[in-house]
Amino acid sequence: MGTLPMRTAKLATSCGAGRWREARLGGSKLEGDKRSRMATIAHRQLRLAGRMSHLGTESAFEVLVRARDLEARGKEIIHLEIGEPDFATPANIVEAAARALRDGWTHYGPPAGLPQLREAVAEYTAGQLGIPVDPSEVVVTPGGKPVMFFTILALVNPDDEVLYPNPGFPIYESMIDFVGGRPVPYGLREEHDFDADVEEILARMTDRTRLIILNSPHNPTGGVMSRAELARLAQALAGREIFVLSDEIYSRLIYEGEHASVAQFPGMKEWTIILNGFSKTYAMTGWRMGYGVMRADLARQVALLMTNSNSCTASFSQVAGVEALRGDQSSVDRMREEFRRRRGVIVEGLNGLPGFNCRQPHGAFYVFPNIKATHRTSKALADALLNEAGVACLAGTAFGKWGEGFLRFSFANSVENIQRALDRIRSWVKKNGE
Ligand SMILES: Cc1ncc(COP(=O)(O)O)c(C=O)c1O
């Protein structure tokens, strides 16, 4: 199929659903039989279900593909686009997985997760947040991301409104749209230090609000919700039967103060789904393991969605997950301290660039500099930095329209590479800036 001559394939655009598309392979020397077979293979019209048009994407993966493509053509790229720790998974966890494989943890397990991991997650979450958690309230999933999908599938009916942060992780809006819900964005503002403004959330709530999504520490801004704002939100939600999906995947990556969760406030645990996982805390992005903590009746429904989709999370990964949560935590502290050092380097470097103004993020491993004074759009600047300076980053608009005027850089890369990236951007700005 790769040999199909692109230059000559011209599609009839008016064909009806389910019919073969007609391919005019003008000038081709292909024999009739072979020619019609290739045309058939290449141009059978793909008739998708309508819901697919509502599905969004995560641009980080697209930029990564473009960057890899440039690399394949000989260009050297510094990767500050993708949100994953560059550290190896701690050795004790790798060893636990290897042992689990040898011991035969290579078969299906219960859809909600292995009992020993659900217990470990319950104990860990109770210890972290100081709230009681029972293993029946835990569902283990392949990565934290499915918790978004499953919760929204389980709770949101068509036309139900869901509040979510903008800029924010793009999959929230995608999933809300996909299930026919109404996405209602709330802003995260630079002048508010990217802490969610509860007044704004409350102002956007209506009788149709079914779910509010919070993310702290926040991707892409590095903002952290203060205990005071969470308390105000919890108070306002009392008795309203509105669920909160609290994405706490970066909760161990906080540089000032302590992590707080809305689930800690009186009456809120019953209405909160905590999304957490191993990807960011233990540098385990490729292991695909996360979990949700939620009331047991909802956990049973989410487990049913697991039965219908993945069956279960990989068993040997789960055995290693117990080691991650219960074993030595010093590598988590070391990674966080290294991220803190990198944060200092990148914030100072960006603030030294004309047209850039960068706040110090309080959590996660992203900076979200304001680039409005460069007089370029986020997308134009991100594209130019990739293609001309060899630095991959994301446009703020990859996280929603209110991300215009910002870029996102991940500092999950070495200090040396961050400094090289800053040098490249500096030279580029010198040559191309106003
Ligand atoms: C805010 C946020 N939530 C959830 C996830 C998903 O994490 P996982 O890789 O465990 O699915 C990410 C990953 O980038 C994220 O940034």
Max CA distance (Å), the chain: 75
Name residue 273's beta-bridge partners.
245
What is the whole-number distance in angstroms between the Cα of residue 83 and the centre of ligand 1?
Answer: 8
- pLDDT higher than threshold 80 for residue 301: yes
277 lines ligand 1 (CB under 6 A): yes
Tokens standing for residue 33? 């039989």
Measure 144 CA to ligand 1 centroid, in angstroms. Answer: 6
Q: Is the pLDDT of residue 3 over 80?
A: no
Q: How confident is the model at residue 433 (pLDDT cuts 50, 70, 90)?
A: confident
Bigger pLDDT: 257 or 91? 91
- Atom of ligand 1 lying closest to residue 247 CA: 3
Q: Which atom of ligand 1 is nearest to the CA of 142?
A: 11
Q: What angle do CA 279, 132, 113 make, to 5 degrees?
A: 45
Q: What is the whole-number distance in angstroms between the Cα of residue 145 and the centre of ligand 1?
A: 6
User: Residues 24-62: pLDDT tens digits?
Assistant: 333 344 445 555 555 555 668 999 999 999 999 888 888
The verdict on the CB of residue 215 being under 6 Å from ligand 1 is: yes
Question: Which residues, in sequence order, are CB contacts of 205 under 8 Å at separation 6+?
Answer: 163, 212, 242
Q: Is the CB of 83 under 6 A from ligand 1?
A: yes
State the pLDDT at residue 58: 85
Q: Specify whether the CB–CB gap between 406 and 371 falls below 8 A.
A: yes
What is the residue whose two structure tokens read 């709330």? 186
User: For residues 104 and 97, what is the distance between their CA atoms, to the nearest angstrom?
Assistant: 11
Question: What is d(CA 25, CA 36) in angstroms, rounded to the nearest whole number?
Answer: 9
The whole-number average pLDDT for the span 414-428 is: 97
Whole-prediction pTM: 0.89
Mean pLDDT of 278-290: 97
pLDDT band at 257 (very low <50, low <70, confident <90, very high): confident
Assess whether pLDDT exceeds 50 at residue 1: no
Q: At what angle do helices 115-129 and 315-326 cross, to 10 degrees?
A: 30
Q: 322-363 pLDDT, tens per residue?
A: 999 999 999 999 999 999 999 999 999 999 999 999 999 999
Q: Which of 49-63, 287-301, 357-371 has the lowest mean pLDDT?
A: 49-63
CA distance 314 to 105: 9
What was the pLDDT predicted at 10?
30
Residue for token pair 């949100």: 83
For residue 88, what are the contacts with CB-CB under 8 A and spacing of at least 6?
94, 283
Atom of ligand 1 nearest to the CA of 218: 1
Q: If you write DSSP's letter for every residue of 86-155 in order, what string do you get?
A: -SPPPHHHHHHHHHHHHTT--S---TT--HHHHHHHHHHHHHHHSS---GGGEEEESSSHHHHHHHHHHH
292 lines ligand 1 (CB under 6 A): no
* Mean pLDDT value of segment 55-73: 91
Which residue has the least CA distance to atom 16 on ligand 1? Answer: 219
Mean pLDDT of 383-396: 97
**Residue closest to 267 by CA, chosen among 296, 301, 233:** 233
Is 260's pLDDT higher than 70? yes
Q: What pLDDT is attached to residue 11?
A: 29
How is residue 265 annotated by DSSP?
S
* pLDDT tens digits along 94-129: 999 999 999 999 999 999 999 999 999 999 999 999
Cα of 312 vs centre of ligand 1, distance in Å, is 19
pLDDT on residue 61: 85
CB 370 within 8 A of CB 190: yes
Distance (Å, whole) CA 367 – CA 349: 11
Question: How do residues 306-333 score in pLDDT, each as one tens digit?
Answer: 999 999 999 999 999 999 999 999 999 9
Closest CA to 349 of 296, 273, 423: 423
Average pLDDT over every residue of 140-157: 98
pLDDT at 17 (0 to 100): 30
Instruction: Find out whether the beta carbon of 285 lies less than 6 Å from any atom of ligand 1.
Output: yes
Mutate to test the pocket of ligand 1, among 139, 145, 285 (most ligand atoms within 8 A of CB): 145
Q: Is the CB of 376 under 6 A from ligand 1?
A: no
Are 8 and 27 in contact by the 8 Å Cβ rule? The answer is yes
Burial class for 239, CB neighbours closer than 10 Å (0-12, 13-18, 19+): exposed
**Which DSSP string corresponds to 287-349?**
G--EEEE--HHHHHHHHHHHHHHTSS--HHHHHHHHHHHHS--HHHHHHHHHHHHHHHHHHHH
The pLDDT tens digits for 167-187 are 999 999 999 999 999 999 999
CB-ligand 1 contact for 143 (6 Å cutoff): yes
State the average pLDDT for the chain.
Answer: 90
Among 61, 225, 249, the mutation site with the greatest number of ligand 1 atoms within 8 A of its Cβ is 249
Residue 188 pLDDT greater than 60, yes or no: yes
Ligand 1 proximity of 145 Cβ (cutoff 6 Å): yes
Angle between helices 296-309 and 145-155 (to 10 degrees): 110
Least confident of 15-19, 188-192, 216-220, 234-238: 15-19
The DSSP 8-state label assigned to residue 22 in this structure reads: P
**Shortest-distance atom of ligand 1 to CA 289:** 10
Q: Give the per-residue pLDDT at 290.
A: 98
Q: What confidence score (pLDDT) does residue 29 get?
A: 42
Radius of gyration (C-alpha) of the chain in whole angstroms: 24
Asked if residue 274 has its Cβ within 6 Å of ligand 1, the reply is no
Mutate to test the pocket of ligand 1, among 150, 188, 219 (most ligand atoms within 8 A of CB): 219
Cis preceding linkage at 217, omega within 30: yes
- Tell me how far the alpha carbon of residue 71 lies from the centroid of ligand 1, in angstroms: 26
d(CA 211, CA 204): 12
Query: Which tokens is 151 given?
Result: 């919760």
169 Cβ below 6 A of ligand 1: yes
Q: How far apart are CA 163 and CA 71, in angstroms?
A: 39
Q: How far is the CA of 346 from the centre of ligand 1 (A)?
A: 22
Q: What is the pLDDT of residue 12?
A: 28
Count CA atoms closer than 13 A to 315's CA, side-chain side: 14
pLDDT tops 70 at residue 13: no
Flag whether pLDDT at 23 surpasses 50: no
Work out which ligand 1 atom sits closest to the CA atom of 215: 1
What is the model's pLDDT at position 373? Answer: 95
